[in-house]
Amino acid sequence: MTSPIAAIILAAGKGTRMKSDTHKVLHPIAGRSMLLHLIDSVKALGAAREVVVVGAGRAQVEAAVHPLGAETVEQAEQLGTGHAVRMAEDALAGFVGDVLILYGDVPLVTPETMRRMIDALHGPGDPSVVVLGFRPADPGAYGRVIVGADGRLEKIVEYKDASAEERAVTLCNSGLMAVRSADLFRLLARLRNDNAAGEYYLTDIVQLAAEDGRFSVGIETDAIEVAGVNSRGELAGLEFEWQQRRRARAMVEGATLVAPETVWFAHDTQIGRDVTIEPHVVFGPGVTVADQVVIHAFSHLEGATIAGGVSVGPYARLRPGAVLERGSRVGNFVEIKNAVLGEGAKANHLTYLGDAQIGAGANIGAGVITCNYDGFFKYKSSIGTGAFVGSNSALVAPVSIGDGAIVAAGSVITRDVEAGALALARGTQEAKPGWATRFREKMLARKAKK
Ligand code: UD1
Ligand code: CA
């Protein structure tokens, strides 16, 4: 039988090194804040409760997490990690189960690793505390995990408090732990702050449990999974790591990435099978790509839904609400916003389609613009099935072009066009035979006299 899980996520620290008006944990990776990545993973694990410990910038954090159903508790003064976890005691009164302690600025911990921690908590001998350790290239100032001769944890010693011998230990504390609710708050109540930092160290619960004759275990993971973010440089480092993982997954799932290191995904990008993504493609949030799609180089997509067999770009810009139906084609320097491009329809060159409905098989010529905005309101354009809109036409919305209609190149269309009609709305061409020849002769003669 599995116990319910509650996650306590520490996020009370200021994060001054970010030099930002935005709370550190709200800075995004792949278009989603670090804290929400973590909450997503906790939810994927199946946690029953998420309690975020907030302090500095509290209102911002609350606004971000409350919509997801996470709770918040305040730590008014930052007196240490142990003190921070204690702040969740009242919120978790009556909760009986496993508690996972996470850091809001350590966002890439996977549900699998969280599961390993919980499983270890229910491993042989029912350990009191499970500590997630790692071995960084440079152990720096991390707390060191001290393992006894019997393989059980003796204690975690903070760098500031460690002896030279302890500092030589390479197993570091990520800060993440799993503890049963029944043990956690009982141990926390006994923390003291008589240490080098004058803080209530969460890590001291390992030694307190040992004093009670209980034991703790450590499990290990890769340094990158438990990397924290304290600066913009570290944020960029984790963004890179996240992208690397996502690129690998896209390829495993059957997409060809010609130059994977140049493709940037969002947290929620969905890619089908046999999709080819050429170099330098950027996915903003909300993009779904079905099978057999080609996205050519230098395209930027956000909030777009792309059906099977579609071709996009190069240099295409798809904005929120762009829906490309089966087999449609969007070419270079085409921008599409809140518009449906029907099955097999084409907009191959230099076009803006905004707030529009384009029928199946329609052809949108080079340079066509839907004029959807009058400076105050937005209006819709509708283009019928099989219609042909000639190059460099402006469709002044609201306007509708009927099925099979043809709009002559260079037209400015201000009134609806009937199905099957030709609409021609441009200056009439005049012809003056011989005029150019006479003009040239006259001007050459004038120039010769000077
Ligand atoms: C802590 C660990 C250390 C570990 C390191 C990993 C303790 C005593 N030490 O170090 O062993 O190697 O993490 O990065 O636990 N926070 C609060 N309230 C507080 C203090 C911290 O919410 O009063 C939050 C911070 O916002 C941050 C996290 O807890 O998200 C860790 O705090 P930080 O000061 O970075 O940890 P250290 O004490 O340096
Ligand atoms: Ca830290």
Which residue range forms the structural domain that includes residue 364? 256-423
Q: How far is the CA of 224 from the centre of ligand 2 (A)?
A: 14
pLDDT of residue 14 exceeding 90, the answer is no
pLDDT given at position 188: 98
- Pocket residue to mutate for ligand 1, from 81, 109, 131, 216, most atoms within 8 A of Cβ: 81
Residue 289 lies in a domain: yes
The CATH number for 311's domain is: 2.160.10.10
DSSP state of 57: B
- In one-letter notation, the amino acid at residue 368 is V
pLDDT digits (tens, 9 = 90+) for 369-398: 999 999 999 999 999 999 999 999 999 999
Instruction: Indicate the average pLDDT of the chain.
Output: 97
Q: Is 228 in the pocket of ligand 1 (CB under 6 A)?
A: yes
Q: Is 227 in the pocket of ligand 1 (CB under 6 A)?
A: no
Q: Is 349 a catalytic site residue?
A: yes
- What φ, ψ does residue 446 adopt, rounded to 5°? -60, -40
Q: How far is the CA of 175 from the centre of ligand 1 (A)?
A: 7
Q: Is 242 in the pocket of ligand 1 (CB under 6 A)?
A: no
Strand, helix or coil for residue 416:
coil
What is the average pLDDT across 171-186?
Answer: 97
pLDDT given at position 125: 86
Q: How far is the CA of 149 from the centre of ligand 2 (A)?
A: 29
Nearest protein Cα to ligand 1, atom 22: 12
The percentage of residues in the chain with a pLDDT greater than 70, rounded to a whole number, is: 100
Tell me, yes or no, whether 164 and 311 share the same domain.
no
**Residue 275 neighbours by CB distance under 10 Å:** 22
Tell me, yes or no, whether 161 and 273 share the same domain.
no
pLDDT of residue 335 exceeding 80, the answer is yes
Report how many domains make up the chain: 2
Q: Is 72 in the pocket of ligand 1 (CB under 6 A)?
A: no
The CATH number for 93's domain is: 3.90.550.10
pLDDT digits (tens, 9 = 90+) for 231-247: 999 999 999 999 999 99
Residue 159 CA: which ligand 1 atom is closest?
A: 11
- What φ, ψ does residue 165 adopt, rounded to 5°? -65, -45
Tell me, yes or no, whether 212 and 306 share the same domain.
no
pLDDT given at position 450: 86
Q: How far is the CA of 228 from the centre of ligand 2 (A)?
A: 7
Last-in-domain residue among 226, 242, 272:
226
The percentage of residues in the chain with a pLDDT greater than 90, rounded to a whole number, is: 96
pLDDT digits (tens, 9 = 90+) for 110-130: 999 999 999 999 999 889 999
Q: How far is the CA of 268 from the centre of ligand 1 (A)?
A: 30
Strand, helix or coil for residue 394:
strand
Q: Which of 23, 66, 267, 349 is catalytic?
A: 349
Residue 442 lies in a domain: no
CA-closest candidate to residue 208, choices 192, 195, 224: 192
The ligand minimizing its distance to the Cα of 141 is: 1
pTM: 0.92
Residue 435 lies in a domain: no
Residue 204 CA: which ligand 1 atom is closest?
A: 8
What is the average pLDDT across 318-334?
Answer: 98
pLDDT given at position 151: 82
The b-or-e profile of 86-115 (16+ CB within 10 A means b, else e) is: bbbbebbeebebbbbbbbbbbbbbeeebbe
Q: 1 falls in which pLDDT band (50, 70, 90)?
A: low
